[in-house]
DNA sequence: AGTGAAATGGACAAATA
DNA sequence: TATTTGTCCATTTCACT
């Protein structure tokens, strides 16, 4: 992992559909070296895959919500039951266990408030062992970076 | 936007480096139709780009934090000043204005607690007009979906 | 279905450390 | 010495028309 690798990762996060020749020019290396570097970054598991980025607005997903969820019990079984239920719901885009007392942060995308209400009642409220939930709606996205900083 | 388009978007979010022939087989359409559909989804701005996915762990970014930030004032100028400052910091991956009284949710990736402390003191605490901040650390990621549901 | 571009993989010499 | 890089090379796959 040198500065050329980092530049490669930056360029590939920003746009992965460039040709290797273009990438080589951007990072200042030869095409073959570039190709080898990408292959080893993939083999090392640093690059985990390639994905198409979609515009949620144009998919009609105009509502983003962050929901903080606390469990009644922090026992291992109740957490496992909760997490298994989360995995089953497609409307839950993301879920993290956070510091504190068995709190989770969940990210939801919905078409509108009515859809969010349906998700809330037909999905979030069905999660087992929940003691409290607090929803924040994203009114406007200030910044949405593509991926991670490479240092 | 029919069911084939939605299947295409699902497949492309999951893995965008498949060949068109493979995609065609997955969604049950001909290669040429598939190709045309992808081009129009791109032209319509539904597909906004393609990106490489990186493993934050292997980049040494083992600490994920969500920081809720409240401003002292909700005036337009103080919000604009805050948002401009946010845009300038690479360590802030994501920032959303959320419902409530000028609260923001910010996402941070750091190498470790010491690095987070550096970000906290050298970046977050420099943001103008902040009245309070609350950090939650992601102990474990339960679920991280690739992109959005397509319906 | 055909064309052209690009990815892939290999061989070898030069450079680097 | 050992590892990495750059310049060819041939093959094949694939996007695009």
pLDDT tens sequence for chain B (151 residues): 999 999 999 999 999 999 999 999 999 999 999 999 999 999 999 999 999 999 999 999 999 999 999 999 989 999 999 999 999 888 899 999 999 777 999 999 999 999 999 999 989 988 898 999 999 999 999 999 899 999 8
| Bases of chain D with protein Cβ within 7 A | 5-8, 13-17
Res B100: pLDDT:
75
CATH architecture for segment(s) A3-43: Orthogonal Bundle (1.10)
Q: Which nucleotide is nearest to A24 (CA to C1')?
A: D6
Q: Is the CB of A19 under 7 A from strand C?
A: yes
Cβ separation of B50 and A143 shorter than 8 Å? no
pLDDT value at residue B151: 81
Joined together, the tokens standing for residue B96 give: 């959303």
Q: What is the per-residue pLDDT for B138?
A: 95
**CATH 1.10.10.10 residue ranges in chain B?**
3-43
Q: How many CB atoms lie within 10 A of CB B144?
A: 12
Tens of pLDDT, residue by residue over A89-101, are 888 999 999 997 7
Beta partners for residue A40, in sequence order: none
Query: Is any atom of nucleic acid chain C found less than 7 Å from the CB of residue A133?
Result: no
For chain B, give every residue range classified as CATH 3.30.70.920.
63-137
Q: What per-residue confidence (pLDDT) applies to A43?
A: 94
Contact, B46 vs A9, CB < 8 A? no
CB contact under 8 A, B51 and A13: yes
Mean pLDDT of A23-42: 95
Among B13, B83, B148, beta carbon nearest to A61: B148
Q: B33 beta carbon < 7 A from strand C?
A: no
Given this model, what pLDDT does residue A100 score?
Answer: 75
Phi, psi of B45 (to 5 degrees): 80, 10
pTM of the model: 0.92
Q: How far is B133 from chain A (nearest CA, A)?
A: 15
- Note the CA–C1' distance, B132 to C1, in angstroms: 65
pLDDT at B122: 87
Structural class in CATH, domain B63-137: alpha beta
Instruction: Find residue B132's DSSP bridge partners.
Output: B70
């Amino acid at each position: 992992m040198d500065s050329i690798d980092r530049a490669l990762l930056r360029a590939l996060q920003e746009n992965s559909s460039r040709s290797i020749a273009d990438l080589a020019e951007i990072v200042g290396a030869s095409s073959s070296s570039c190709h080898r570097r990408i292959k080893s970054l993939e083999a090392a598991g640093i690059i985990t895959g390639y994905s198409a980025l979609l515009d949620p607005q144009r998919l009609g997903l105009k509502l983003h919500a962050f929901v903080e969820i606390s469990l009644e019990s922090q026992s291992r079984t109740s957490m496992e039951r909760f997490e298994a239920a989360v995995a089953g719901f497609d409307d839950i885009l993301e879920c993290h266990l956070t510091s504190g007392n068995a709190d989770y942060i969940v990210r939801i995308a919905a078409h509108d408030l009515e859809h969010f209400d349906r998700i809330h009642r037909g999905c979030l409220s069905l999660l087992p062992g929940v003691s409290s939930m607090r929803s924040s709606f994203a009114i406007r996205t200030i910044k949405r970076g593509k991926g991670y900083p490479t240092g």
